[in-house]
Chains A and B, each alone.
Chain A
C-alpha cells in the first residue's frame, strides 16, 4: 500500500535529550514537510524539502534539524535547544503535480 508512515506514534523524551522522529513515504513524492501542531495554533511549518539533499527552514525551525538523504525519508530531530517540544508532529508530502498535500498519522512527543 502507498502511504506515509510516521513512527513512533507516541514518544517520550527527558529534558536535555535529542530525539528523532521518522517519516517514510513510498508515494514517490518530491516534496516533504514537517509541521508542528499545538492546541489552538493550527499547523506551523518547521522544515521542508523539495528534492534530495536539499531542505529549507520553515517558520519555526529553531531547535530542530532535518536531513534528506533519500527521497523516501525525511527524519526530524528535536534537539535539546527546543525549549518547548511537547506537541503533535505531522509529516506531509506533495507530489510533483503540485495539488494536494498528503499527511502521515502524526507523532505525539511529550517531554517528561
Chain B
C-alpha cells in the first residue's frame, strides 16, 4: 500500500459528515475506487470515479478527485452507525493487467 496512502483512523459523531482522504502517486491512474469492508466480511464497492472526472455524487456519498495533487476524498453525509467500517481506496493504472493498488484502509468509527 505504499503508493496509495490513507489515514488509518477516523472518528465522527452520528449525523455529522465524514471525509476520508487518499493520496496516490501514479498519474497514469485510470480509475479510482472506494470500497467498504465490514468486520469479517469481504469488500463491497461503494463507488468509483474515472480519472477524467472531478466529482461524483451518489446519494450520501460524494467523491472528489484532484488530479493535480493526486488526491481523492470520500465524503459521507449524515453518517450513521451502520457506516462504521474500514474504507479502502484503490487505483487502477493504465496497462497494469487489471491489478488494483490498495491503500491500507481507514477505520471509521461512528459514535452515537
Q: Please tell me if the beta carbons of A48 and B102 are within 8 angstroms of each other in the complex.
A: no
Q: Please tell me if the beta carbons of B45 and A102 are within 8 angstroms of each other in the complex.
A: yes
Q: Please tell me if the beta carbons of A40 and B48 are within 8 angstroms of each other in the complex.
A: no
Q: In which size bucket is the chain B interface?
A: 20 to 34
Q: In the complex, which residues of chain B have a beta carbon less than 8 angstroms from the beta carbon of A103?
A: 35, 42-44
Residues of chain A touching chain B, judged by Cβ–Cβ distance below 8 Å, are 4, 6, 31, 33, 40-43, 45, 48, 50, 56, 58, 90, 92, 94, 98-106, 108
Q: How far is the CA of A18 from the CA of B43 in the complex (A)?
A: 26
Q: How far is the CA of A49 from the CA of B44 in the complex (A)?
A: 21
Q: In the complex, which residues of chain B have a beta carbon less than 8 angstroms from the beta carbon of A4?
A: 42
- In chain B, positions 86-106 with a C-beta closer than 8 Å to chain A are 88, 90, 92, 97-100, 102-105
Q: How far is the CA of A105 from the CA of B40 in the complex (A)?
A: 8
Q: Please tell me if the beta carbons of A106 and B40 are within 8 angstroms of each other in the complex.
A: yes
Beta-carbon contacts of B44-75 to A below 8 Å, as 1s and 0s?
11001000000000000000000000000000
The listed residue with most A CB atoms (<10 A of its CB), out of B31, B43, B45, B103, is B43
Selected contact of A48 from candidates B1, B41, B92, B99, CB within 8 Å: B99
Additional 8 contacts, C-beta under 8 A, given A58-B99, A94-B98, A108-B40: A6-B42, A31-B98, A42-B1, A43-B102, A90-B43, A92-B43, A98-B98, A106-B42
Q: Can you spell out 12 A-B residue pairs with CB atoms less than 8 angstroms apart?
A: A4-B42, A33-B99, A42-B1, A42-B105, A48-B97, A58-B99, A92-B43, A98-B92, A100-B48, A101-B90, A103-B43, A106-B42
Q: In the complex, which residues of chain B have a beta carbon less than 8 angstroms from the beta carbon of A58?
A: 99
Given the known inter-chain contacts A90-B43, A103-B44, A105-B41, please indicate yes or no for A40 contacting B104, CB distance below 8 A. Answer: yes
Q: Please tell me if the beta carbons of B97 and A50 are within 8 angstroms of each other in the complex.
A: yes
Q: Please tell me if the beta carbons of B42 and A104 are within 8 angstroms of each other in the complex.
A: yes
Q: Please tell me if the beta carbons of A40 and B8 are within 8 angstroms of each other in the complex.
A: yes
Q: In the complex, which residues of chain A have a beta carbon less than 8 angstroms from the beta carbon of B33?
A: 100-101
Given the known inter-chain contacts A42-B1, A42-B102, A43-B88, please indicate yes or no for A106 contacting B41, CB distance below 8 A. Answer: yes
Q: Please give the distance in Å from B30's CB to the nearest CB on chain A.
A: 9
